Amino acid sequence: MAAPGPIPSGVRRLTLARLAAFRPGGGPDSGQGGNGSIVLLLSLFLLLLVFFIVLNGQSVQHTARIRAVLHSIEQRFTIDPRLREGMEPVASRTGTVFAAERLAQVGDLFATAVAVVKVTEVRPGRLLEVRIPEDALFRPGTAEVLPERQGLIDRVADSLRQSRSGERIELDALLAISPDRPSQPPGPVERAGALARALVAVGAPASAVTVGIERGLPGTARLLFTIRLADEPPGGRADSRSGGGGRR
């Protein structure tokens, strides 16, 4: 096989000139060739910027659609009215969310442990009501807490003991009494006192537990769990919410 012949001098000079154009500082036109790529990229960026400015200027906001989406979100998720309407002062938005979660957890404790319990959110994130038969907490005919309810008592006391995000939980335990017929022993007062002592014995703050009696169907209890700010004094207790009931 024949060896390749010598490369013409003209071709060699052309190739070297082209290579020099791609090397920084090479060739007579190296200044313009080095800035060419930067100018090209800058032009591309400016073109994209103009495109998005024109696109944003021609876009139309559909207010009706936005409101429909917000309404759908509010229906799907529970929103504390204090956050949406600002009816009451709160410690923080984060604290309010935690408060609603804490009350929901307390309601879940009763709903899981007692099948006949009725849990109602009277004021979301502020007041939770639990209605429960007394015999679901006490031994029939006594003021002794059922052994199988001790775990529930422990968890409720733990919820009352914890203070998060500058908020605390208070409990008003109201046992019903009928003015038309005498109560069978033990009376609701004795059982209410036994419930308070059982909670305090396992760590619930005594200041967070209030018990009392109210008019209603004998043999039923109403437990009111209220969220209060850490610096908020106790107020609006059982006597103001029970429609004439007393307290101890």
Q: Where are the domains of the chain?
A: 90-241
Task: Sort strands 209-215 and 167-177 into parallel, antiparallel or unpaired.
Answer: parallel
Rounded to whole angstroms, the Cα distance separating 131 from 152 reads 15
Q: Provide the pairing of β-strand 220-229 with 209-215.
A: unpaired
DSSP code per residue over 5-73 = PPPPHHHHHHHHHHHHHHSTT-STTHHHHHHHHHHHHHHHHHHHHHHHHHHHHH----HHHHHHHHHHH
pLDDT at 20 over 70: no
Report whether 222 contacts 216 (CB < 8 A): yes
Mean pLDDT of 30-57: 79
33: buried, middle or exposed (CB in 10 Å: 19+, 13-18, 0-12)? middle
The percent of residues in the chain predicted with pLDDT above 90, rounded, is 25
Q: What is the pLDDT of residue 85?
A: 57
- CA distance linking residue 152 with residue 221, whole number of Å: 15
* Residue 27 pLDDT exceeds 50: no
pLDDT for residue 164 is more than 80? no
Which CATH number does 90-241 carry? 3.30.1330.60
- pLDDT reading at 3 higher than 60: no
Residue 55 has pLDDT above 60, yes or no: yes
Q: Is the peptide bond before 24 cis (omega within 30 degrees of 0)?
A: no
More confident site: 242 or 70? 70
Q: Cα(166)–Cα(232) distance, rounded to whole angstroms?
A: 10
Give, rounded to a whole angstrom, the gap between the first and last alpha carbons of the chain. 117
The pLDDT-based confidence of 132 (bands split at 50, 70, 90) is very high
Place of tokens 């007579």: 28
* Tokens 């060896």, residue located: 3
Q: What share of the chain is helix, strand, coil (3-state, %, to 5)?
A: 50, 20, 35
